[in-house]
């Protein structure tokens, strides 16, 4: 028997994370992940973990995105985007999936909110137009999933090939600069019916999964802030600094425990009932809130020596803060529906 043992999934993710850390400044300068980072992530099959038929679990995918984000949060963020879009494409007809995955390593980016529009959806498909912002990882994607709505207000997802849209650099954001968050423009393009799916069959039943996965990179980014802050301390460090480290690490551990608990639930049923969905959405927003608070605390405690833009902890803070600004992680909008359900409202 060979003594060789293939690397575990976490070891593969850690290797990609280390490389992402080495190239983090180059990725920020490029405005998208360094090609060597994407190549390594692909070699490790990390974006493919949620493809239908994969033996990996949702819990493992969340963990992998967190590990990648400890090296560079943009890498974890892109992996989350590619992963969830792989999952959603798996809901399309088999013939459509076969077309997309002629190359099994094809990457799919997207912007799922219904920012595009069409007059009507028919058996011939839909003529869609629109502008979609923050398409992470689109520089390396062959396909996009883009949300749009018809004149009656019904929402859909369109699977759009890279030959059918244009990209533009969006406004220069403060965080996730290496994620390639570009704008996508479609001007009255015809999408055939087999490349359309109603939100009622995609975004609605799988909403808890989509939103929970956002928090994986956030947890990894916050954990990276702990690691950077810890490097500055010693046994003789001021008591207030040690307390900041203890509280921040507790907040992140709590967030991780909560998110992985919910991932276990989704591994049993990725499309849970409305009450469980609302609870998971609450948990995702709360976990993100804990991570953002922890990162802010560490940046404030790190003092003026780390206040310049190029310091690692400030870069991490910008990334975490940008991710937590995602519209589906706002605490009030995600917690109030659950509270209303609790009291029967």
DSSP secondary structure of 116-148: EE-S--BTTBEEEEEEEEEETTGGG-SEEEEEE
The domain spanning residue 27 has which CATH number? Answer: 1.10.540.10
Domain-ending residue, one of 38, 57, 89: 89
pLDDT at residue 249 greater than cutoff 80:
yes
Mean pLDDT, residues 106-117: 96
Count other C-beta atoms under 10 Å from residue 259's C-beta.
28
Q: Is 21 inside a domain boundary? A: yes
Q: What is the pLDDT of residue 72?
A: 98
Quote the DSSP letter at residue 323: H
- Whether the pLDDT of residue 309 is over 80: the answer is no
pLDDT at 144: 98
Judge if 219 and 287 occupy the same domain: yes
Pair 191, 129 in one domain: yes
Q: Are strands 196-198 and 155-161 parallel, antiparallel or unpaired?
A: antiparallel
CA dihedral angle for residue 286, residue 291, residue 296, residue 302, rounded to 10 degrees: 150
- The reply to whether 97 falls in a domain is no
194 in the same domain as 216: no
Query: What pLDDT digit, counting tens, does each position of 175-232 carry?
Result: 999 999 999 999 999 999 999 999 999 999 999 999 999 999 999 999 999 999 999 8
pLDDT computed for residue 311 by the predictor: 84
Is 98 inside a domain boundary? no
Mean pLDDT value across the chain: 94
With respect to residue 239, please indicate whether it lies within any of the assigned structural domains: yes
The pLDDT, as a whole number, for residue 307 is 53
Quick check: is 273 in a domain? yes
Q: What is the pLDDT of residue 266?
A: 98
How many C-beta neighbours within 10 Å does residue 329 have? 23
Q: Please check the confidence at residue 308 and state whether its pLDDT lies above 90.
A: no
Give the span between the Cα atoms of 311 and 228, in whole angstroms.
10
pLDDT band at 174 (very low <50, low <70, confident <90, very high): confident
Identify which has the larger pLDDT, 172 or 186. 186
Tokens representing residue 269 in the block: 């049923």
Residue 151's domain comprises 105-198
Query: Which of 71, 70, 56 lies closest to 9, judged by CA?
Result: 56
Residue 122 has pLDDT above 60, yes or no: yes
Residues 277 and 222 in one domain: yes
Band (76; pLDDT cuts 50, 70, 90): very high
Q: Would 158 be classed as within a structural domain?
A: yes
Last residue of a domain, one of 89, 115, 137: 89
Whether 19 and 61 share a structural domain: yes
pLDDT at 1: 39
255 located within any domain: yes
Tell whether 78 and 114 lie within a shared domain. no
What CA–CA distances, in Å, run from 16 to 31, 141, 315, 323?
19, 19, 19, 21
Task: Categorize the per-residue pLDDT at 303 as very low, low, confident or very high, splitting at 50, 70 and 90.
Answer: confident
For the cut 60, the answer to whether the pLDDT of residue 102 exceeds it is yes
Task: Dump the DSSP string for 241-310.
Answer: HHHHHHHHHHHHHHHHHHHHHHHHHHHH-SS--HHHHHHHHHHHHHHHHHHHHHHHHHHHHH-GGG-STT
Q: Quick one: angle between helices 239-268 and 207-231, nearest 10?
A: 160
Distance between CA atoms of residues 45 and 8, nearest Å:
12
Structure tokens at 284: 């995702």
Q: Give the mean pLDDT of 118-141.
A: 95
Q: Give a yes or no: residue 100 inside a domain.
A: no
Structurally, the chain folds into a number of domains equal to: 3
* pTM over cut 0.85: yes
The pLDDT-based confidence of 234 (bands split at 50, 70, 90) is: confident
pLDDT computed for residue 4 by the predictor = 58
Statement to judge: residues 176 and 220 lie in one domain = no
- CATH number of the domain encompassing residue 170: 2.40.110.10
H or E segment to which residue 29 belongs: helix 24-30
């Amino acid at each position: 028997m060979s003594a060789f043992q293939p690397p575990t999934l976490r070891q593969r993710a850690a290797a990609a994370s280390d490389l992402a850390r080495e190239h983090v400044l180059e990725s920020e300068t490029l405005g998208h992940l360094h090609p060597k980072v994407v190549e390594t992530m692909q070699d490790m099959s990390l974006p493919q973990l949620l493809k239908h038929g994969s033996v990996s679990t949702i819990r493992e995918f969340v963990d992998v995105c967190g590990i990648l984000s400890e090296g560079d949060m943009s890498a974890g963020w892109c992996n989350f985007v590619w992963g969830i879009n792989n999952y959603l494409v798996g809901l399309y007809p088999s013939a459509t999936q076969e077309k997309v995955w002629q190359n099994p390593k094809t990457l799919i980016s997207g912007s799922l909110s219904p920012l595009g529009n069409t007059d009507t959806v028919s058996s011939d498909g839909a003529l869609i137009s629109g502008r979609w912002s923050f398409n992470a990882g689109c520089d390396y994607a062959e396909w996009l999933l883009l949300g749009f709505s018809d004149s009656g207000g019904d929402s859909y997802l369109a699977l759009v090939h890279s030959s059918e849209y244009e990209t533009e650099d969006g406004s220069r954001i403060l965080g996730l600069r290496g994620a390639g968050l570009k704008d996508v423009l479609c001007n009255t393009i015809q999408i055939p019916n087999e490349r359309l799916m109603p939100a009622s069959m995609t975004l609605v039943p799988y909403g808890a999964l989509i939103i929970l996965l956002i928090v994986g990179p956030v947890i990894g980014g916050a954990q990276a802030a702990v690691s950077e802050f810890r490097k500055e301390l010693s046994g003789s460090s001021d008591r207030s600094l040690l307390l900041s480290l203890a509280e921040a690490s507790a907040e992140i551990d709590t967030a991780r425990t909560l998110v992985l608990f919910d991932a276990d639930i989704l591994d049993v049923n990725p499309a849970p009932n409305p009450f469980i969905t609302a609870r998971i959405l609450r948990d995702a927003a709360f976990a993100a809130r804990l991570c953002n608070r922890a990162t802010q605390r560490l940046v404030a405690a790190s003092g003026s020596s780390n206040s310049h833009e190029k310091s690692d902890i400030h870069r991490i803070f910008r990334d975490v803060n940008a991710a937590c600004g995602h519209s589906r992680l706002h605490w009030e909008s995600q917690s109030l529906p659950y509270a209303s359900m609790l009291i029967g409202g």
